[in-house]
Amino acid sequence: MQLGGAGDPVRTRTHLKRLRNVQEETEYLFRTLSALERKLGPVLFQFPASFRADKEALEDFLALIPGSMSCAFEFRNPSWLDADIQGPS
């Protein structure tokens, strides 16, 4: 599996599909990454600055992440800093 570059499966979810209609690709990604077992660190999802906050898409995407996986998210658009998106402090 290639990570990084134009064929990056994570980039497809974040930059091209903007978290919409990504169930099949996300299941494949985490199924493939699970082969790394204890060697796997957090999976980083970086979002382009042009991707404005979309709470519904984010919630749907978060539901696809297996509970055993650690993930990190980098949101580059300031709209993601909204208290409604971040939840209670």
CA neighbours closer than 13 Å in the CB half-sphere of residue 85: 15
> 75 in a domain, yes or no?
yes
> 16 in a domain, yes or no?
yes
Give residue 88's pLDDT. Answer: 66
Q: Give the count of domains, the chain.
A: 1
Q: Give the integer Cα–Cα distance in Å for 69 and 30.
A: 8
Q: Could you say which residues of the chain have pLDDT below 50?
A: 1-7
Q: pTM above 0.75?
A: yes
Which residue matches tokens 């970086």?
Answer: 46
SS3 6: coil
> 87 in a domain, yes or no?
no
> 45 in a domain, yes or no?
yes
Residues sharing a CB contact under 8 Å with residue 81, sequence separation 6 or more, in sequence order: 75
Range of the domain at 59: 9-80
> 3 in a domain, yes or no?
no
The encoded tokens of residue 52 equal 């404005």
> 66 in a domain, yes or no?
yes
